[in-house]
Structures are given as C-alpha cells and as structure tokens.
Structure 1
C-alpha cells in the first residue's frame, strides 16, 4: 500500500506540494491526475526517496523507500523512459538492473517477453523509438516482480496498439493484487483504465475517489439542442435560470435544465427543435472544470 500523509515540499519560494494526504490501495489501478506544475512528479519522487519532504511522510508498505530491505522486489517504477544507456542492448540494460537489485537473471527474458521486446532484446537502446523505450522502462519496473508499481506517463510514445496493451497490462497487474499508481495526462485513456482517482492542483488534494463517483459528483448534466431559432430559445432558457452556450452554427449546450424541460419550453413557445439529446460529461470535461483555477500555465486558444 502507498500512503502519503501531510506531505509538503518547497523549492525556494515555490511550493510544490502542500499538506497532501491520500492512500493508494492494492487490487485496483489508481490514476494520479493534475495540471502541469501540480506536484505529481514531486510526490512520486518523494515516494521513491528521490526528494526529501520538508514535512510529512511518503510511505510504501508502511516504510519510507530508503528503509525498504529489498526495494527491487517491493517497488517497481518508471519515471523516465530515457534513463537508459544508449549503447546497451535491452537485455544488457535489464541484466544490469537485475544484478544491482539481486533479481534472478531469468526474469530478464520473462519481462522482455511480457512487454513485447523479446525480438529486440539484442538491439541497442539508443536505436529504440520512444514507445520502445517506454516498454523497456516498464520491463525494468516489473523485473523484481514487485507488489507496488508506480508509472509516470507510461503511454507516452505508444502507438494505438501499445495504448491498448498498456491499458490491459495495468488492469491485469491490479487484478493480480498489486498496487498500481499511474500518473497520466491521457484523460480519455485514464477513464478506461483507472478504478480510482487522486487529483491534485497546485500541490493540494482536489479529489480522492472512484472514477464513476468523480464523474457523478462533479459533472454538470448537459443537453445538446439544435434549433433554427436558437437565439430566441437561448433567451427563453436563460430566463428560466438555465446556463446556455452557443455551439456551431445552430446548436446550444444547456446546463441546469433537462431534456424534458427544454422540449416542453420550446413547444410552449412555438420554437422548432431539430435535435435534443443529453450529453454525458467525459473525464476530461470534469477534470478541466475542476482544475480550472489550479492551472499555472495557460496558452492562448485564439489567433
């Protein structure tokens, strides 16, 4: 189990993490979400003993990482797929990790097979694509057959087949009873992979809940309406207290009013409606709404 309790870390005047507390349980995939600069990487590094917290604790199986007796057998992690000597073959890289971690060398070929790199075992890592390096990094995380796994953006560089593969792998690892903690910006993929979410912004906890509950509690019901009289319909719905946004040439996105209410109001006013349908918010929609005030770096979206 992973436990973060009152974690705080500052870099000069910048607060990376502030009073962060959450628990990651075994047997499920927990997605770790947050905007850039939210403190995700600092939290992962604190869990692996790469950053010393100013306050609080980051524990794995109830202990700080540096005090684990057999870390390679207890924790596997992928933080940087590029952290491999370009002149070493995939097999040589994993063999070096196995020797350092006191892992049986037979595991090298086993994990190469599991991540789909068996045919590339003798190729130098410097020749690998980003997707292949990601697979090699995942193989390194699996090498000691650990019960706890931490992955930072494991889907980077993977093609569509690779994305499906990593999703299946994460879920199978959780089914085996392992603790799987995955940081990602691929929100649509996270919605398909994760059972639970930990969401942070500006170093503080925003949500710690199941995916379905997260969507149910934070998603505003939206209705898509298409009408040639949309301006008049928008005025009518706003007068009834609904939120209305224009979309495309003749459509509206309405919040605060259901399909039946909108249809009845349009009919009573004699306004034509060509389409009326409920829209279910995606994880991306809810995440963007919930973290809107926690984004440090925002680009310009218009020309």
Structure 2
C-alpha cells in the first residue's frame, strides 16, 4: 500500500505538490492523472525517495522508501525507460540489479520471459526501440517480484498488441494482491485498465475514487433509444411528460436526456411499448478529466470540442 499524508514539495517559491493525501491500496490498479505540470512526476519521485518532502509524508508498506531493507523486493518502479547506460546489454543490466539486491540470476531469465525480451537479452540498451525499452524497464521493475509497482507512462511507445499485453499484465498483478500505481496520458486505455483513480491539478487533490463511480457521478442521466414508434409517437410523449429531453440522432435513434436507461425501460414496460434498442450513455474519462482539470492546465491552446457522451 502507498499512503500519502499532507504531502508537500516546494522548489523555492513554486509549490509542486500541495498537501496531497491519498491511499493506493493492494488488489487494484490505481490510475494517477493530472495535466502537465500538475505534480505527478514529483509525487512519484517522493514516493520512491528520489526527492525529500518539504512537509507531510509518504510511505510504502508502512515505511518511507529509504527505510526499506530490500527496496527492489518491495517496490518496482519505471519512471524513465531510457535511464540506463546505453552500452550495457539487457541481461548485464538486469544481472547487476539482481546481484545488488541478492536476487538469484535465474530471476533475470524469468522476467525477460514475462516481458517478451528473451531474444533481445544480449542487445545493448541504446539499440532498443522505445517499445522494447519500455518492456526492458518493466522487466527491471518486476525483477524483485515486488508487492508494489510504481509506473510512469508504461505504455509509451508500445503498439496496439503491446498496450493490450501490458493492460492484461497489470490487471493480473493486481489480481494477485499487488499494489499497482500507474500514470498515463492515454485516457481511453486507463479507463480500461484502472479500477481506481487519483486526479491532481496544480499539486492538489481533485479526486480519489473508484473509476466506475467517478464516471457515473459525472455523467448526466441519458440514453440512446430506438423504438418502432414514429418520432412523435406515444413513447416520445411519455418521455417528455416525465421531463426528459428527446432528439433524433443521425442514425435514427433518440438521444434521451433527463432519464437513465433503467427508468426508460421501466416506463416502456409499464405502458406496453416496444423497445428495439436501449443503451446507457456515459461520458468518457477523457471528457470528465478535461473538464475537471481545465483550470489546472499550465499551458493551454484554443479550440472547441463538440464531444458527446459515448454508449457504455
């Protein structure tokens, strides 16, 4: 478990992390979100003991990272996949890490197999593609078989198959009871992967909640509806009598706002009206996150967005 309590980091007059409190629990993947400059990287560095808090504290398994007896066995981290001596081979780098933490050499082959880099074991780090470097960094994070993983943009540079692979891997690690703390700018992927999210802006906590609850709480009651009745038939009149707004979309379905799908289905059942399609509409994580962090974005461009809720 990772526990941050009133965690604060200042660099001169700039406050990068501002009294941040959150908990990352085992058995789930927790996504970590925030605009550029929000303090995500600083927070992860504080978790891993690479920076010292100005105030507050952060612990891993109940202790500050610097007090862990065998850090690699307890916490696996991937912050920068390219932060490796380019002249070292994949195997030599991992062997060095293993020896420094009294891990058996066979563990190197095991993690290379896990991340699919057996064939690249003797390649030099500087010759790896970005996607291969990400797998290499993940192998190092997994080397000590840790109970806690802290990963910054682990899908960066991966192709579609690689992204799906890491999604399944992280979910399986969490299912084993590990703590997985993951940052990513790929909102659609994070929505598929994370069970819980922590959102920050300008170093302050904006949300700390389950992913499903977060999306449902920020989505208006709405649904897509298709019926055999005409546009001005009894179903529309019934919905509008209940205060719903109804409009026809380009595919001949009704976009109903003001009632959720279960309420619409119950109305149709009670009044004996046929329904051919009824799909709940939810806003995407990206839409909600963008609206929530709009005031916390350090650098902004101009532009309009006409995005609508997506069927879930």
The answer to whether the superposition gives a TM-score over 0.5 is yes
SS in 2 for 1:26: coil
Aligned partners of 2:181 and 2:159: how far apart in 1? 22
2:6 counterpart of 1:6: yes
| Structure 2 residue aligned with 1:177 | 177
Aligned partners of 2:188 and 2:120: how far apart in 1? 30
Aligned partners of 1:42 and 1:252: how far apart in 2? 46
Aligned partners of 2:29 and 2:100: how far apart in 1? 28
| Structure 2 residue aligned with 1:162 | 162
Unpaired segments of 5 or more residues in structure 2?
Answer: 226-239, 265-277, 305-312
Aligned partners of 1:75 and 1:258: how far apart in 2? 43
SS in 1 for 2:122: coil
2:289 counterpart of 1:287: yes
Counterparts of 1:1-303 in structure 2, within 5 Å, are 1-221=1-221, 279-301=281-303
Q: Contact 2:29–2:170 at 8 Å: present in 1 too?
A: yes
- Alignment CA distance shift 1:257-1:296 (3 Å): farther
- Alignment CA distance shift 1:118-1:59 (3 Å): same
SS in 2 for 1:291: helix
Q: Contact 2:30–2:196 at 8 Å: present in 1 too?
A: yes
Q: Contact 1:222–1:281 at 8 Å: present in 2 too?
A: no
Aligned partners of 1:60 and 1:74: how far apart in 2? 9
How far does residue 252 in structure 1 lie from its aligned partner after superposition? 11
- Alignment CA distance shift 1:221-1:172 (3 Å): same
Write the deviation string for residues 123-171 of structure 1: whole angstroms up to 9, x where unpaired.
1111111000000000000001111110000000000000000001100
- Alignment CA distance shift 1:56-1:252 (3 Å): farther
- Alignment CA distance shift 1:289-1:254 (3 Å): farther
Q: Contact 1:221–1:281 at 8 Å: present in 2 too?
A: no
Q: Contact 1:49–1:64 at 8 Å: present in 2 too?
A: yes
Aligned residues: 277
Q: Contact 2:215–2:282 at 8 Å: present in 1 too?
A: no
- Alignment CA distance shift 1:68-1:219 (3 Å): same
Aligned partners of 2:88 and 2:215: how far apart in 1? 45
- Alignment CA distance shift 1:17-1:241 (3 Å): farther
**Cα RMSD (Å) of the superposition?**
2.8
SS in 2 for 1:82: coil
- Alignment CA distance shift 1:88-1:6 (3 Å): same
How far does residue 18 in structure 1 lie from its aligned partner after superposition? 0.6
How far does residue 101 in structure 1 lie from its aligned partner after superposition? 2.1
Aligned partners of 2:26 and 2:131: how far apart in 1? 27
How far does residue 277 in structure 1 lie from its aligned partner after superposition? 7.7
Aligned partners of 1:257 and 1:296: how far apart in 2? 37
- Alignment CA distance shift 1:285-1:108 (3 Å): same
SS in 1 for 2:170: helix
SS in 1 for 2:181: strand
